[in-house]
A = this chain, B = another copy of it.
Amino acid sequence: MLIAIHAGAGPVSSDLERHERESREALLRALSTARDLLEHGAAAVAVVAAAVEILEDFEGFNAGRGAALCSDGTALLSASIMRGFDRAAGAVAGLRTTKNPVAAAEAVLATDQVLLIGEPADVLAAENGVEQRPNDYFITEYAISRLREELTAESRGTVGAVCVDVNGELAAATSTGGITGQPPGRIGDSPLIGAGTWADARVAVSCTGDGEAFIRAGVARYIAALVEDGAELEQACARAIGCVSELGGTGGLIACQPERAVCMPFTTEAMPRGLWRAGADPRVWVTDSE
C-alpha cells in the first residue's frame, strides 16, 4: 500500500514561502487521511479522491478554494480521476460551483460518460450530493492579488494523488484552478485522461506543470505505454518529462506501480509532495534539495 501526493510544481516563490508551513501540514493531513482509509481496506479510487479533497480545501494550493483566477476574476475548476483495474474514468472541466472538483469527477466516473464540461458538470455533481458553493467561495484575497500582479508563473500548480491499495490496485486523481489570468474557457492537462491523469493495471500517474506542454506530450498515457512495453518506471517518467522539456515546458509528476515503485520527478525548483508507504512514516518534501 502507498499514497503519493503533489501540490504543483514551480519556482521557490514568495507564494510558496508564504504558505510553506501550512502547505506541509496540508500534505501531512492528506497523507494521514489516505493512510487511515488504506489501512481500513478502502479502494484506491476512494483514497485518491479523499486525499485530493483535502488538498483542494487548503487555500494555499491552486485547486478548489484558493484556485488561480481567470482574466475575468472568476474561478474555473477542473479535475479528473481514473481507476486502474478497469480503467473507469471521470473528468470535469470548467466547473464554477462544485466545492470539491475531484468529487464531481468521481460522480462522472459512475456514469456512462468520461468527460463533462461547464454547468452540466456542476449540476451532475449537485445531483449526486456533492456540495455546491457560489463562485465567490473559491476566490481568496490572495488569488485576487496574484491576478492583479499577473503572477502567472507562480500559479501553474495543481494537486494530485496516486495510490496502491491493499489489493494492489491503482488509481490517480488530479485537480486544478488553471493559470492565473488565463482566458475564461482555457483548460489544461489536469482534467484530460491521458495527459494529466492515468491509471491502468500497471501504473498510475498524476501530473502538474505547464498544461499545454503536458497535453502536447501526452505525458500520462506515454508513461503507461512505455511501462507496458517493458520500461522501468523511472526511465518512462524521465522520457515523458524530457518530452515536456523539448516542448519548452516545465513541471513534474507522481507515478506509482503495484510493486511499490514510486517516482516523483520535476524540472522546477520545487514541487510540494508527500509519500506514505505501509510500514513507514508519512514524509513530505518541498524543494529539490531536500
Asked whether, in the complex, the Cβ of B222 is within 8 Å of the Cβ of A187, the reply is no
Q: Which one, A43-51, A113-121, A167-175, is touching chain B?
A: A113-121
Interface assignment of A112: CB less than 8 Å from any CB of chain B: yes
A201-241 interface (Cβ within 8 A of B): 211-212, 215-218, 220-222, 224-226, 229
A229 contacts which chain B residues (CB < 8 A)? 225-226, 229
A82 CA to B215 CA, complexed, in Å: 11
Interface size for A (C-beta < 8 A) is 43
Flag whether A87 is at the interface (Cβ < 8 A). Answer: yes
Provide the bound-state CA to CA distance between A69 and B48, in Å: 35
Residue in B closest to A229 when the chains form the complex, CB atoms: B229
- Number of this chain's copies in the assembly equals 2
**In contact, B114 and A185 (Cβ under 8 angstroms):** no
Q: Per DSSP, are chain A's interface residues mostly helix, strand or loop, or mixed?
A: mixed
Across the interface, name the chain B residue whose C-beta is closest to A186. Answer: B113
A16 at the interface (CB under 8 A from B): no
**A94 CB to nearest chain B CB (Å):** 5
* Best-buried of A82, A89, A119, A192 by chain B (most CB within 10 Å): A192
Chain B residue nearest to A194 in the complex (CB): B218
B residues in contact with A187, CB < 8 Å: 93, 115-117
CB distance from A242 to the nearest CB of B (A): 12
Q: Which residues of B contact A226 (CB under 8 A)?
A: 225, 229
Provide the residues of chain B in CB contact with A68, threshold 8 Å: none
8 interchain pairs, CB-CB under 8 A:
A82-B216, A89-B212, A116-B185, A117-B187, A118-B185, A119-B185, A218-B225, A229-B229
List 12 extra interface pairs beyond A114-B188, A194-B195, CB under 8 A. A87-B217, A87-B247, A93-B93, A114-B211, A115-B186, A115-B187, A115-B188, A117-B117, A124-B183, A192-B193, A192-B194, A198-B218
